[in-house]
Amino acid sequence: MRTPIIAGNWKMNKTVPESVALVRELKPLLVAKPQQADVIVCPPFTALYPVSRELDAGEIALGAQDLFWAPKGAYTGEISAAMLLDLGVSYVIVGHSERRAYQNENNALVAKKLAAAFEAGLRPILCVGEKLAQREAGLADRIVRAQLEENIKPLMADQIRKLIIAYEPVWAIGTGRSAEPRDAGVMARAIRTAIAAKFGTKVAAEVRVLYGGSVTGANSKDFLEVDGIDGALVGGASLKAEEFAAIVKSAS
Ligand code: PGA
């Protein structure tokens, strides 16, 4: 049985006081009932440490939104895996479509970041997904498989089994237009099949595949019920404690 994951990606939102306030509001909403899901929040870098100090109880894990591939050195403005571990971070989002779009991150770079995360002992959440034009041209499957294949190139089976993959169609992110749960399920299962073809069904059975893109408290259950979808990566709706808690509850 794969434990579902509900991960909140706060993106470039929330100052330190706002981040602390959000997590303080969220905590009591989650402890009321034992959670059946791994819950992760990914605040901006600047709020990781203060949020980490709020989370010692352990019902919520801390994730970062990105990392750099080198362990240290002359890389102005970058943040290494070791620096994240220092702050109590255990998960890291890698290859989010917004970084692929605005920071020109390509598959080779994403592969290096994934390898660096594993090397340091962080659990990466790899994001893959097609653009609207690619879906309309019937290329979604091919694009996602190609991303996946390129991104996981440096990884070994023991790392793959710990990998978390978020299928996030680019056109569904932040648009209020989520994918059809059925279509998301088809892609989630295709991702697992691709992993199985390379690493065997036992390894593939351990990989958790999430859906992301306009997930809300109102639609999360529809995704979580789908065979092959093991959770959600949530953007906008993770900025509201009540709504994020409702999404966590829908995984139970
Ligand atoms: P959204 O973002 O929930 O706001 O669509 C999802 C994501 O980017 O991970």
88-99 pLDDT tens trace: 999 999 999 999
What's the mean pLDDT in 142-164?
Answer: 97
Which atom of ligand 1 lies closest to the CA of 233? 9
Task: Give which of 15, 28, 75 is closest to 244, Cα–Cα.
Answer: 28
Helix/strand/coil percent split, the chain, to 5: 50, 15, 40
54 is known as an active-site residue: no
pLDDT at 58 over 80: no
**Ligand 1 atom 3 nearest Cα:** 235
Q: What is the pTM of this model?
A: 0.97
243 is known as an active-site residue: no
Name all domains of the chain by residue range, CATH numbers in brackets: 5-251 (3.20.20.70)
Tokens read off for 6: 């509900």
Model confidence band, residue 57 (pLDDT cutoffs 50, 70, 90): low
Q: What percent of the chain has pLDDT over 70?
A: 98
Q: Report how far ligand 1's centroid is from the alpha carbon of 170 (Å).
A: 9
Q: Which residues contact 24 (CB under 8 A, 6 or more apart)?
A: 54
User: How far is the CA of 116 from the CAs of 77, 82, 209, in angstroms?
Assistant: 17, 10, 21
| Burial grade of 170 (CB within 10 A; 0-12, 13-18, 19 or more) | buried
Rg (CA), the chain: 17
Report d(CA 58, CA 2) in Å as an integer: 19
> Which residue among 9, 65, 165 has the greatest number of ligand 1 atoms within 8 angstroms of its CB, and so is best to mutate?
9
Tokens read off for 227: 């065979």
Q: Of 54, 98, 130, 168, which one is the catalytic site residue?
A: 168
Q: Report how far ligand 1's centroid is from the alpha carbon of 12 (Å).
A: 12
Ligand 1 proximal residues by C-beta, below 6 Å? 9, 168, 173-174, 212-215, 233-237
Q: What percent of the chain has pLDDT over 90?
A: 95
Q: Report how far ligand 1's centroid is from the alpha carbon of 251 (Å).
A: 17
